[in-house]
Chains A and B, each alone.
Chain A
Amino acid sequence: MARDERVTLEYLEGSWVMNPIWDYVKKVERHLPAARRTEVAGALYATLKARKESMEKAKGAKATDAEIADMLAAEGDPLRVAERIAGPPGQHDLVSRYLASVERHLPREGVLDVMAELREALRAKIEEAEERLGRAASADEIAAVLKGFGAPPVVAARYEGRMQLIGPVLYPWFWPTQRTALGLVAAVFLVLTALRALGTDRPIQALLARLDNLLGLGLMAFAAVTLVFIAVERWGDPVKLLEDRWDPKTLPRDNIRKPRSLFESGVSLFFDVLFILVWLKFVPFPNELPLRDGASVSIVLSPAWSVVYWPILALALLSAAGRLHDMVRPAWNRLRSGISIACYAGGLVVLWLLFQGRPFVDVQPRPGTSPEELERALRLVDGVLLVSLGLTALVWAIALGLEVWRQVKASRLSRGAPPLMAA
């Protein structure tokens, strides 16, 4: 549990003094699954706090440290408590995923208290549905209850209770989009300006002279993004659109993989697009390798690459599509994972083909270069590529294994989902 949450709740309790109940909750929390940590820890805190208060009411005075310690000792070993209250994985899957989604949009202050109350409210609502049905609610019926409760960003925004120019559905995207847009503008500007500056006699001075344009471009990007958000908010009615379309069953599974941030996806997309532009020769790639004063060589890709030219382009496009998908739906899902698996597996095949066709590059002499220098340059560049592509293959193989494992884990969790119960 983050320190600020603990401090907030101590503050809510009217005391800034370190609190033994918090220390205990923190110990239990360590044994809880990440996706349910805040929700369950919040509920446990509420339980223990209520127990302490009723003890104080009964005796008409503040509970002593010894009495609180006795109460916590009676609760039991933190590990056992965590196992008891968290339940087996998958049992409370949908409700937990809903609460975790609401939590992501809530302000940190008082978050545990809000989560505990929402959890109790959902439980009451699901029990009401089960009473009406005369049996345990199915996954579809629980999903219907959650849908009636409201989309997570909308529910969370109501806790903020202030009118916004950019509403609750779009607001979580606003600052990440601004950061991504500003990052992209800065990166494109710097790359293009650097390339232009390299063609001048004094590249550093040329680069510095053009830097002041960056501020104006940044402000324009900020204004453009803000206007787009306001326009969508004004004419798109995103709250209604989300309330109509959101499906509780598509709520993210945080326990499979941490959702990608918009910034992370934006940066990856930028590099994917840059690679595609270089690969299609829309953006020139400096390929001259200086050896000594007055002598250099040109590095060109060997014929081995022509075999994999189109597969590489297809994989880069697929990867960029995956990044775009991440920007729209940042949480882990099986489609995105499938794209990653295809990219890693395809990439490994491409690398294997390249390794078969070594050397990776050819070197072409420029005037003044001796055959020995040419040979040395070839060995150097080929060696560097051998090591870097070898390491890339290793990283991709591990990533491929991880992604396949996540798919297997998701299949198991889906199988475990039908006996959904109120949390």
Chain B
Amino acid sequence: MPVSADIIEALRLELRRGNLILAVLGTLRSEKYGYTLKTELGGLGIEIDEGALYPMLRRLETQGLLTSEWREDAKRQKRFYRLSDDGAAALAQLAGEWRAMNASLSSILKGVGS
């Protein structure tokens, strides 16, 4: 029996969730506001809904991984985010984890889906 599209979608979302946080933290090594962050991620092939992005940014800020400030840009008030010192340390740790995991997975998945 083929796996239903709903199950595949749920698994895909689960797979993406952690990676998205890593992508957001990595991109915010330089300061950005929500819209430019989304555009930059989209340009790199990582699509994220605004409805999910903004709450995620706020959560990461509450966790101390990001800092933010309201500032005027192009005559409009925007909230700019960047990685905090704690966020940079967490990113370095998570990036190490991800690389190790990626290397293992590449070996495990050799020949799958290609």
Contact among B49, B56, B69, B79 for A120, CB-based, below 8 A: B79
A46 adjacent to B51 (CB under 8 Å): no
Contact among B49, B50, B71 for A50, CB-based, below 8 A: B71
Q: Count B interface residues, CB 8 Å.
A: 20
> Given the interface contacts A50-B71, A124-B35, A150-B49, does A158 sit within 8 Å of B55 by beta carbon?
yes
A150 adjacent to B51 (CB under 8 Å): yes
In the complex, B104 has a CB within 8 A of chain A: no
Per-position 1/0 for A95-137, Cβ under 8 A of B = 0000000000000001000101110110111000000000000
> Given the interface contacts A46-B70, A50-B72, does A121 sit within 8 Å of B50 by beta carbon?
yes
B78 adjacent to A120 (CB under 8 Å): yes
Chain B interface (Cβ within 8 Å of chain A)?
33-35, 49-52, 54-56, 58-59, 69-72, 76-79
Listed from nearest, the 3 A-B pairs whose CB atoms lie closest are A150-B51, A158-B55, A124-B35
Least CB distance from A81 to B in Å reads 15
Our count of residue pairs bridging A and B at CB distance below 8 angstroms stands at 64
CA distance A339 to B62 in the complex (A): 47
Measured between beta carbons, the chain A residues less than 8 angstroms from B55 are 155, 158-159, 161
B70 adjacent to A155 (CB under 8 Å): no
B49 adjacent to A149 (CB under 8 Å): yes
Contact among B59, B70, B77 for A161, CB-based, below 8 A: B59
Contact among B49, B50, B58, B79 for A46, CB-based, below 8 A: B79
Can you offer 15 A-B residue contacts whose CB atoms are under 8 A? A43-B77, A46-B70, A46-B79, A49-B70, A50-B77, A53-B69, A110-B58, A118-B54, A120-B35, A120-B77, A121-B34, A125-B35, A155-B51, A159-B55, A159-B59
Measured between beta carbons, the chain B residues less than 8 angstroms from A121 are 34-35, 50, 54
B50 adjacent to A149 (CB under 8 Å): yes
Measured between beta carbons, the chain A residues less than 8 angstroms from B35 are 120-121, 124-125
CA distance A50 to B76 in the complex (A): 10
CB-CB nearest in chain B for A118? B54
**Residues 137-195 of A contacting B (Cβ, < 8 Å):** 148-150, 154-155, 158-159, 161
Least CB distance from A234 to B in Å reads 14
CB-CB nearest in chain A for B39? A128
Least CB distance from B104 to A in Å reads 28
A54 adjacent to B51 (CB under 8 Å): no
Measured between beta carbons, the chain B residues less than 8 angstroms from A388 are none
Measured between beta carbons, the chain B residues less than 8 angstroms from A117 are 34, 54, 79
Contact among A110, A120, A161 for B76, CB-based, below 8 A: A120
Contact among A47, A114, A148, A159 for B77, CB-based, below 8 A: A47
Q: Count A interface residues, CB 8 Å.
A: 26
In the complex, besides A50-B70, A120-B33, A155-B51, 19 extra interface pairs with C-beta distance below 8 angstroms are: A43-B77, A47-B72, A47-B77, A50-B77, A53-B69, A53-B70, A116-B70, A120-B76, A121-B34, A121-B50, A123-B76, A125-B50, A148-B49, A150-B49, A150-B51, A154-B51, A155-B55, A158-B56, A161-B55
CB-CB nearest in chain A for B33? A120
Least CB distance from B51 to A in Å reads 3
CA distance A158 to B52 in the complex (A): 7
Measured between beta carbons, the chain A residues less than 8 angstroms from B33 are 120
Measured between beta carbons, the chain A residues less than 8 angstroms from B59 are 159, 161
**Residues 356-404 of A contacting B (Cβ, < 8 Å):** none
A158 adjacent to B51 (CB under 8 Å): yes
- Which of B33, B35, B50, B69 lies at the interface centre, i.e. has the most chain A CB atoms within 10 A of its CB? B50
CB-CB nearest in chain A for B53? A121
Least CB distance from A154 to B in Å reads 7
Measured between beta carbons, the chain A residues less than 8 angstroms from B77 are 43, 46-47, 50, 116, 120
CA distance A116 to B54 in the complex (A): 12
Measured between beta carbons, the chain B residues less than 8 angstroms from A125 are 35, 50
Measured between beta carbons, the chain B residues less than 8 angstroms from A54 are 71-72
CA distance A149 to B55 in the complex (A): 12
CB-CB nearest in chain B for A155? B51
Measured between beta carbons, the chain A residues less than 8 angstroms from B34 are 117, 120-121, 124
